[in-house]
Amino acid sequence: MLHAPRPLPLAQPSAEQAHALERAVAAVEDGLAALSQSLTLRDPEATEQAAAALHQTLAEAMDRFAEVARHGGVPPALRRRLARSGGQVAAQRNAVARGSQWLDRTLELLIGPAATEAAEAPPAARGGFGGASPFGSGPRSSGWAQA
């Protein structure tokens, strides 16, 4: 009778690799906390800086995890922490999207749909960048100054 092959045990990362993974996950968690704080304070500049830093930190963490995964296994506890951080990123992204939708609806009520549609259109479609629109005839100036 044939038996199914047993899975090979995953190699554990070295102490140095495990420490690097721990630092990477901690950096992601710190970046998420900074982004959350800036969103709570409604500070656009701090939010932009925190988001850029988090993006870089996530890329570095993924590189570290990929390297360790190629040479063995990632400890389950660190894998769960990174997955939880990914869930937090998704939750924050959804919260920002909902806030943006709320703002769009509010602006539409206050100033009308034409203004919000114009604001959402790409600059070239609005005749921006000082040239003609590639979508047909339109203003040749950006609209910032009329002589």
86, 67 contact by CB (below 8 A): no
Dihedral (C-alpha) 100, 102, 107, 109: value to the nearest 10 degrees?
Answer: 160
44, 100 contact by CB (below 8 A): no
Distances (CA, A) of 103 to 78, 94, 100, 109, 123: 37, 14, 5, 10, 20
The string of pLDDT tens digits covering residues 41-59 is 989 899 899 999 999 999 9
pTM: 0.61
The string of pLDDT tens digits covering residues 13-28 is 788 888 989 999 999 9
**Which amino acid would we find at residue 77?**
A
- In this prediction, residue 50 carries a pLDDT of 93
The pLDDT > 90 percentage for the chain reads: 27
Is the pLDDT reported for residue 141 higher than 60? no
- In this prediction, residue 131 carries a pLDDT of 42
